[in-house]
Amino acid sequence: MTQTEPASLQPILRIDFPHAERLGRGKIALLEHIRETGSISAAGRAMDMSYRRAWLLVSALNSMFKQEAVESQRGGKQGGGAAVTPFGEELIRQFRMMEEKAQAALAQELAWLEDNRSSGTAPVRDPEPRS
């Protein structure tokens, strides 16, 4: 894709659970960053969020399922850390697989939308003149 070529359309998968719990690409990306860094705080920094926000998201993930997605160790000589559990690894894999299936299932409709969308280069006009 060149700089002048518009980005292709992508469906965004979000699973809404009862009681306002949600699973989406942000929590999955956080899990992937924890896997890479071994740290909730480093994962949060990589996503430009505070440690508190990252910790709250991990806590929400862990409470959504029968098994924990992340295990954390308190500080000490090694400074603590966090690890994605085998369940968390499977959660990442399942979610990414669902995203691929959604993309494939909607490919024809997304292509139609892409063919019919504007180039995005036209200026946006204010519908009402300002006084």
Mind listing the pLDDT tens digit for each residue in 37-95? 999 999 999 999 999 999 999 999 999 999 999 998 776 555 679 999 999 999 999 99
**What distance in Å separates the CA atoms of residue 12 and residue 4, rounded to the nearest whole number?**
23
Q: Cα 3 from chain centroid?
A: 24
In a domain, 15, yes or no: no
Average pLDDT over residues 104-130: 81
Task: Report the number of distinct structural domains present in the chain.
Answer: 1
Please name the amino acid found at residue 97. M
In a domain, 10, yes or no: no
In a domain, 46, yes or no: yes
pLDDT value of residue 2: 46
pLDDT value of residue 86: 98
Both structure tokens of 106: 């909607």
In a domain, 131, yes or no: no
In a domain, 43, yes or no: yes
CATH of the domain at 58: 1.10.10.10
Is residue 61 within 8 A of residue 27, CB to CB? The reply is yes
In a domain, 2, yes or no: no
1 pLDDT band, cuts 50/70/90, is: very low
pLDDT value of residue 72: 86
28 pLDDT band, cuts 50/70/90, is: very high
Both structure tokens of 81: 């850390």
In a domain, 4, yes or no: no
Residue 70 exposed, middle or buried by CB count within 10 Å (0-12, 13-18, 19+) = buried
In a domain, 89, yes or no: yes
**What is the domain range of residue 45?**
20-93
Is residue 38 within 8 A of residue 81, CB to CB? The reply is yes
Percent of the chain with pLDDT over 70: 82
Confidence check: pLDDT of 113 > 60: yes
Global pTM value: 0.80
Q: What average pLDDT does the structure give for the chain?
A: 88
pLDDT value of residue 119: 76
Is residue 31 within 8 A of residue 61, CB to CB? The reply is yes
Nearest to 82 by CA among 114, 37, 119: 37
